[in-house]
Chains A and B, each alone.
Chain A
Amino acid sequence: MKGESLLSVSGLGAGYGKIQVLRDVSLEVAEGEFTAIVGANGAGKTTLLTCLMGLLRPTAGSATFRGRSLFDLSAHRRVELGIGYIPEGRRVFAELSVEENLRVTATRRPRGAAAGEREVLERIYGHFPRLAERRNQAAGSLSGGEQQMLAFGRALALEPSVLIADEISLGLAPIVVDRLFELLGELHRAGTTIILAEQNARLALEAAQTAYVLEAGRVILRGPARELGADPKVVDAYLQHL
């Protein structure tokens, strides 16, 4: 299951102003691995992912991605390395249409990408027929579930080899959540590395291979996801209320 280490984070610290959120977080992600980061609201999951994406500057620590130092690169350079990101709260470009959201992203794919833009868009519409129906509608006018599909599709428009997904189940109908997790599974089987932060721990631990439990900005547990999810002591102590 474990391949070469793809992403390696050590001693990561981060925060906002004087508020320290993450302390000494270390993380190893192998090529093709599905990693879940679980923990309560405020544990630092989103902060960790925004640091990985380059939207927040860490105060301590280092990270290498395919042997390159990650924290020196701005966000759009990390995209060029093949990292796709689904932000917490969807954050679609509200004033652009669904198709414009996807196209503006598809233009950022690395040069020499195999599939043409049209092909990439059709693939996304295949995953989410709902988006195809609404392709000319302003993204801001979509429902929450549709916006989440668009945020997901937008990340896929980059054809990423690594997908960072932040709280994609939040506030959505179960049927939509099922569809999104099904798609995560498909992508994973097709070789995409996935890093998923999720408050719904049960869901995440079922889908992932490896899991990290964050509490108050620290990694307090790490291990195979199914074992963590099945261990009654772990469930009682850390996951019961999540």
Chain B
Amino acid sequence: MSYLLVVGVTIAIYAVLTVALNMVVGYVGQPNLAQSAFLGLGAYFAAVLSTRYHLGFWWTIPVAFGVAGIAGFALGAISLRLREDFLAITTIGLNFVMVAVFQYLPFFGGAVGIYSIPVPSIGEHHFGNLDYLILAAAMLALVVGVSKYLERSWLGASLFAIRDDESAAASVGIPVASYKVVAFTLSAAFAGMVGSLYAPFLSAVTPTSFGFTESVVILSMLIFGGLGTVRGALLGALVLGALPEAFRFISNFRLLTYGVILLLMLRFQPQGLAGEASAVSRLVGRLASPLRKSRDHGPA
């Protein structure tokens, strides 16, 4: 039971990261391989503040949200000056920069990281795995709610327009630069927010837990599930998060497995399992409403 709860919390945390990443990669179409750096920022700030400055757990959540959001804002501002391929490389580099910062700045506890992060509590009740799961689910509900709101709002439609054609979007009056920065900021802030939960859940943070590998894992989940949709992000986090637990050999060759899945998906099913116009979502659509005319996306 407890083991299942731990798996559940892990998957929920991955789901928050994946849904948040979708705001940048899915909605605006910008590459971002730095999601774990923002998770790490949130986790580290929560760890430092709660161990060294005895800040209460509930206060670390908005701080982690804010700090990661500021970093996301900075990355968004940088992204405006870079072509997509260079942006991808820059975000990869950001992982290594963050790991180095965690490792060498004494503020972050150096190479050993930070241990004995206090267990959050409500009054006299100390958090158990079930409480972590509930809180992670609440954070997931929040990021899903914001994503759904974005999708339905004119802001979301503007983000899709930017993804489709940046200069056409600018020519109809969409402030492309500001909106890109908004997406980067939100995406990073939510990753940081869940970091504040991740730190006490692990009870320790070390620099290498937030490296490039983790960013690849998160992006793989998103691409596997389907770019551009919340359901795709959720499905990707669920399936790829559960696989290593279900099959021991996968956890030994986790990166290899994810890498192969990523390559196969990009080659044969670039929309992911449940993305827009993917095979599965078309099938579900057909089953759900057999009379509806199929919405074909190819040019006529």
Residues of chain B lying within 8 A (CB to CB) of residue A92: 168
CB pair B170 A104 closer than 8 Å: no
CB distance from A143 to the nearest CB of B (A): 5
Residues of chain B lying within 8 A (CB to CB) of residue A55: 167, 170-171
CB pair A105 B173 closer than 8 Å: yes
Residues of chain A lying within 8 A (CB to CB) of residue B170: 54-55, 74-76
Chain A interface residue count, CB cutoff 8 Å, equals: 35
Contact of B157 among A80, A91, A96 (CB under 8 A): A96
CB pair B176 A76 closer than 8 Å: yes
Which residues, 69 to 97 on A, are CB-close (under 8 Å) to B? Answer: 74-76, 79-80, 85, 87, 91-96
Contact of A103 among B157, B171, B174, B299 (CB under 8 A): B157
- A154 beta carbon closer than 8 Å to chain B: yes
- A8 beta carbon closer than 8 Å to chain B: no
Residues of chain A lying within 8 A (CB to CB) of residue B299: 94, 140-142
- B164 beta carbon closer than 8 Å to chain A: yes
- B172 beta carbon closer than 8 Å to chain A: yes
Given contacts A87-B168, A91-B168, A94-B164, A104 and B297 within 8 Å (CB-CB) = no
Bitwise interface map of B from 271 to 300 toward A, beta carbon under 8 Å scored 1, else 0: 000001000000000000000000111111
- B165 beta carbon closer than 8 Å to chain A: yes
CB pair B177 A74 closer than 8 Å: yes
Residues of chain A lying within 8 A (CB to CB) of residue B172: 79, 85, 104-105, 108, 154-155, 157-158
CB pair A91 B161 closer than 8 Å: no
CB pair A108 B298 closer than 8 Å: no
Bitwise interface map of B from 149 to 178 toward A, beta carbon under 8 Å scored 1, else 0: 000001001101101110111111111110
Residues of chain A lying within 8 A (CB to CB) of residue B177: 74
Docked complex Cα distance between A104 and B296 (Å):
21
Docked complex Cα distance between A203 and B221 (Å):
54
Q: Which interface class (under 10, 10 to 19, 20 to 34, 35 or more) fits B?
A: 20 to 34
- A137 beta carbon closer than 8 Å to chain B: yes
Given contacts A79-B171, A155-B172, A158-B172, A138 and B297 within 8 Å (CB-CB) = yes
- A10 beta carbon closer than 8 Å to chain B: no
Chain B residue with the shortest CB-CB distance to A164: B171
Contact of A93 among B154, B165, B175 (CB under 8 A): B165
Residues of chain A lying within 8 A (CB to CB) of residue B169: 93
Residues of chain A lying within 8 A (CB to CB) of residue B296: 138, 141
Residues of chain B lying within 8 A (CB to CB) of residue A154: 172
Residues of chain A lying within 8 A (CB to CB) of residue B276: 95
CB pair B154 A91 closer than 8 Å: no
CB pair B173 A80 closer than 8 Å: yes
Which residues, 126 to 183 on A, are CB-close (under 8 Å) to B? Answer: 137-138, 140-143, 154-155, 157-158
Given contacts A76-B170, A105-B172, A141-B299, A96 and B165 within 8 Å (CB-CB) = no
CB pair B168 A93 closer than 8 Å: yes
CB pair B154 A104 closer than 8 Å: yes
Residues of chain A lying within 8 A (CB to CB) of residue B168: 87, 91-93
CB distance from B281 to the nearest CB of A (A): 14
Residues of chain A lying within 8 A (CB to CB) of residue B154: 103-104, 107
Docked complex Cα distance between A93 and B296 (Å):
15
Docked complex Cα distance between A158 and B174 (Å):
11
Residues of chain A lying within 8 A (CB to CB) of residue B164: 93-96
CB pair A108 B171 closer than 8 Å: no
Docked complex Cα distance between A80 and B170 (Å):
11
- A204 beta carbon closer than 8 Å to chain B: no
CB pair B300 A104 closer than 8 Å: no
CB pair A108 B174 closer than 8 Å: yes
Given contacts A55-B170, A75-B170, A104-B157, A142 and B300 within 8 Å (CB-CB) = yes
Residues of chain A lying within 8 A (CB to CB) of residue B167: 50, 55, 75, 87, 91
Q: Which of A50, A87, A105, A138 has the most CB of B within 10 A?
A: A105
- A120 beta carbon closer than 8 Å to chain B: no
Q: Which of A93, A101, A141 has the most CB of B within 10 A?
A: A93
Contact of B161 among A87, A93, A142, A158 (CB under 8 A): A93
Docked complex Cα distance between A54 and B177 (Å):
14
By a beta-carbon cutoff of 8 Å, the part of chain A in contact with chain B is 50, 53-55, 74-76, 79-80, 85, 87, 91-96, 100-101, 103-105, 107-109, 137-138, 140-143, 154-155, 157-158
23 residue pairs of the A-B complex, CB under 8 angstroms, read A53-B171, A74-B175, A75-B167, A75-B176, A76-B175, A79-B171, A79-B173, A85-B171, A91-B167, A92-B168, A93-B165, A93-B169, A94-B164, A95-B297, A96-B160, A103-B154, A103-B157, A104-B158, A105-B172, A138-B297, A141-B295, A141-B298, A142-B300
Q: A75-B173, A104-B161 are in contact. List 9 more A-B contacts (CB 8 A).
A: A53-B171, A55-B170, A55-B171, A74-B177, A95-B297, A104-B154, A142-B299, A142-B300, A158-B173
By a beta-carbon cutoff of 8 Å, the part of chain B in contact with chain A is 154, 157-158, 160-161, 163-165, 167-177, 276, 295-300
